[in-house]
Amino acid sequence: MLYAVYIQSVKTARVKRFLYWAGVCDVQWQFTSGWLKQARRCESPHFNARPEAEVSLLVIHNISLPAGCFGLPYIDALFQGCLDVQADASFACLADLQVSAHFLIRRDGEIVQYVSCDDRAWHAGLSSFQGRENCNDFAIGIELEGTDELAYTEQQYLQLDRLTRQLLQEYPLLSPERIVGHSDIAPGRKTDPGASFDWHRYLGGLAG
């Protein structure tokens, strides 16, 4: 009985958070020093200063740990450098891996921020955009909790749309033409956000 009450309380809290983030409460989203006030802040040690490069690219990724499993604490742990690689057999290849993203949008619409947008998160790896290498230098990385094959949720599209609009206002060198998938800047090496991501819906919504 107590477990059922706990699960219901978690679900209720997530609904309330989503309504808050989605702007139902008429909240004005704000950035301070590259941090989104309305995101859950979960700071990663995996970042460094941008090498005199202004933000001019937005990269969409996906992630799930373990693969295809959602709502677990392992993404936070990976980005914070404290993942217990013994927790799942598939984590062995992640030992000593130092990666991060600026944002994660979970399946329920929760937005988590790990690195200030003014700093360089470690999400793109070996990458190139329009002949310019090392995309981490000038990109913001958004992870969607998901897989290449499974459709993303309505809450994720709503939150991604609003977050993107806010970033376009905050960083004037960004534009819809400078929004790409990880697969676009690392072809042959990466496939995310995958065929399950509806680019037409996402970019079409920004144009509306």
Q: How many CA atoms lie within 13 A of 102 on its CB side?
A: 26
The mean of the pLDDT values for the chain is: 91
pLDDT at position 75: 99
pLDDT band at 15 (very low <50, low <70, confident <90, very high): low
Q: From the candidates 52, 54, 110, 143, which is the catalytic residue?
A: 143
Q: Can you give the C-alpha Rg of the chain in angstroms? A: 17
Render pLDDT for 158-191 as a digit per residue (tens, 0 to 9): 999 999 999 999 999 999 999 999 999 999 999 9
Contacts of residue 81, Cβ cutoff 8 Å, sequence gap at least 6: 44, 45, 46, 98
143 is catalytic: yes
Query: What is the residue whose two structure tokens read 């859950």?
Result: 40
Please report the domains of the chain, with CATH numbers, ordered by start residue: 2-207 (3.40.80.10)
**Mean pLDDT, residues 193-207:** 97
**Mean pLDDT, residues 86-102:** 98
* 24 has pLDDT over 70: no
pLDDT band at 10 (very low <50, low <70, confident <90, very high): very low
What's the predicted TM-score (pTM) here?
A: 0.88
pLDDT at position 12: 52
* 2 has pLDDT over 90: no
pLDDT band at 17 (very low <50, low <70, confident <90, very high): low
Residues present in the chain in total: 208
| Identity of the residue numbered 104 | L
Render pLDDT for 96-154 as a digit per residue (tens, 0 to 9): 999 999 999 999 999 999 999 999 999 999 999 999 999 999 999 999 999 999 999 99
pLDDT at position 21: 47
Render pLDDT for 38-49 as a digit per residue (tens, 0 to 9): 999 999 999 999
Burial 144-157 (b: 16+ CB within 10 A, else e): bbbbeeeebbebbb
